[in-house]
Amino acid sequence: MIDFATLLIVFREVIEAGLIVGIVLAATTGVPHRGRFVALGVGGGVAGACLVAAFAGELAALFQGNGQELFNASILLLAVAMLTWHNVWMASHGREMARELKAAGHQVKTGERTLAALAVVVGVAVLREGSEVVLFLYGIVAQGGASAAAMTVGGVLGLAAGAGVSALIFYGLLAIPAGKLFQVTSWLITLLAAGMAAQAVLFLQNGGYINMLDAGVWNSSWLLADDSIAGRLLHTLIGYVQEPDWAQLIAYGATIAMMLALMRLVSARDAARRQLKLV
């Protein structure tokens, strides 16, 4: 017997974290030791998820009952900062990395310096989705009952299915030619960060820290609902929500603008340096 409710909830959360892991793996193609860093991020995320789940009540009680919202907003903004750092760094070294990737051996040594930042992003993603899985599964175990075995099977299958879909995304990204790969992952990371910034704003609103511009701008639930699998995937990938408000849209746009501006600035600086050397 398989419990489909468990399968679905585990699948959903695993796929959300898995998409981010897939993008990070694609963005670090050929970089030595990246497996170790990504594993560290996943391991740290799982440990963090267990801690957050175990102390859910204590966490929520902090900051006049807004601990959960502040915590979620903080780790999301931390991930946005790390993704920005990665992309700005890539703007300076992306060409070099693409050259290394195309060269014999495919060793992208230059990429090692950005691994720690991306490990943090993986850790945050696994922590956020993982703590929900832990709370849900703990609830099942605590209730006991004969269906525990069916739920375990459902959980394992959900994990496998989620990991499988994430792997498909990863291999799909790898099909991109080496010269273009880092450009594509750079864009994906920009949209990932924008979506996370908008969600951080939502948590700050729900904690009562932002009270302006909270009217919905549009409602596209008829086209793509937040609760559908496609809606969730697009939410993770590009921050899709069925009814964004002005504050969220501003955070989304500002993150993209900030990231592009910083990337341009760094490439312009590099170009100026190259010219100086030529003179």
Partner 1 sequence: MHKSLLLAAAFVVAAPALADAPIMLTLQNHKFTPSVIKVKANQPAMITMVNKDGTAEEFDSSELKIEKVVAGNQSGSIRIRALKPGTYHFMGEYHDKTAQGVVIAQ
Contacts with partner 1 by CB under 8 A lie at 5, 9, 53, 56-57, 60-61, 65-66, 68-69, 132, 135-136, 138-139, 142-143, 202, 205-208, 214-215, 221, 225-227, 241-243
Closest to partner 1 by CB, 45 or 94: 45
Q: What contacts 114, CB < 8 A, 6 or more positions away?
A: 28, 85, 86, 89, 90
Closest to partner 1 by CB, 178 or 196: 196
What is the DSSP annotation of 185-245?
HHHHHHHHHHHHHHHHHHHHHHTTS--SS-SBS---TTTS-TTSHHHHHHHHHH---SS-B
- Find the shortest distance in angstroms from Cβ 214 to partner 1: 5
- 140's tokens: 């099942």
Q: Is the dihedral of CA 106, 266, 192, 242 positive or negative?
A: negative
- Find the shortest distance in angstroms from Cβ 201 to partner 1: 11
- Find the shortest distance in angstroms from Cβ 226 to partner 1: 4
Amino acid found at 120? V
Closest to partner 1 by CB, 31 or 140: 140
- 260's tokens: 């592009």
Closest to partner 1 by CB, 225 or 265: 225
Closest to partner 1 by CB, 148 or 174: 148
Amino acid found at 216? G
Q: What contacts 34, CB < 8 A, 6 or more positions away?
A: 25, 28, 111, 115
Closest to partner 1 by CB, 115 or 126: 126
Beta strand ranges found along the chain (DSSP E): none
- Find the shortest distance in angstroms from Cβ 19 to partner 1: 18
- Find the shortest distance in angstroms from Cβ 15 to partner 1: 16
- Find the shortest distance in angstroms from Cβ 136 to partner 1: 5
- Find the shortest distance in angstroms from Cβ 105 to partner 1: 46
Closest to partner 1 by CB, 3 or 100: 3
Output Rg (C-alpha) for the chain, integer angstroms.
20
Which of 63, 66, 54, 189 lies closest to 127 in space, CA to CA? 54
Distance between CA 241 and CA 218 in Å, rounded? 10
- 26's tokens: 């694609």
Contact 129, 233 (CB under 8 A): no
- Find the shortest distance in angstroms from Cβ 206 to partner 1: 5
Closest to partner 1 by CB, 107 or 228: 228
